[in-house]
Amino acid sequence: GAGVSQSPRYKVAKRGQDVALRCDPISGHVSLFWYQQALGQGPEFLTYFQNEAQLDKSGLPSDRFFAERPEGSVSTLKIQRTQQEDSAVYLCASSLVGVSNEKLFFGSGTQLSVL
């Protein structure tokens, strides 16, 4: 497709379950970002990849959060032992080369609800 694709669109998990969220960036985009957007808030940075290298993971809130991009294309954000405070929309964005070209393309997000 032409845009950033995220799946699933909605995910409901019971507290304590593990979840995996997928992001398909725009083909050829080198950089990939994950953001967390809580209800009524702006997106908060989680982590950043350039190709397969995770260059910044300073925004991951705990060691229950893990992200990978093994072949430099599709990325997966995994949350282990989900907690209610993990409920949020998880946004993926990609750009051609870093943010220095200053244009991120966002997916529609995965809305995670932890019960």
Partner 1 sequence: GDSVTQMEGPVTLSEEAFLTINCTYTATGYPSLFWYVQYPGEGLQLLLKATKADDKGSNKGFEATYRKETTSFHLEKGSVQVSDSAVYFCALYMNRDDKIIFGKGTRLHILP
- Selected range binding partner 1 among 20-28, 64-72, 73-81, 104-112, rule: CB under 8 A: 104-112
CB burial of 38-55 (b: ≥16 within 10 Å; e: otherwise) equals eeeeebeebbbbbeeebe
Binding mask 72-91 for partner 1 (x = CB under 8 A): -------------------x
Alpha-carbon gap, residue 25 to 28, rounded angstroms: 8
- Selected range binding partner 1 among 19-27, 43-51, 69-77, 79-87, rule: CB under 8 A: 43-51
Q: Which of 3, 8, 16, 61 binds partner 1 (CB under 8 A)?
A: 3
Give the closest residue to 22 by CA, choosing from 78, 62, 72, 60. Answer: 78
Alpha-carbon gap, residue 43 to 88, rounded angstroms: 10
**Is residue 113 involved in binding partner 1 (CB under 8 A)?**
no
Residues binding partner 1 (CB under 8 A): 3-4, 33, 35, 40-45, 48, 55-56, 91, 93, 98-100, 102-109
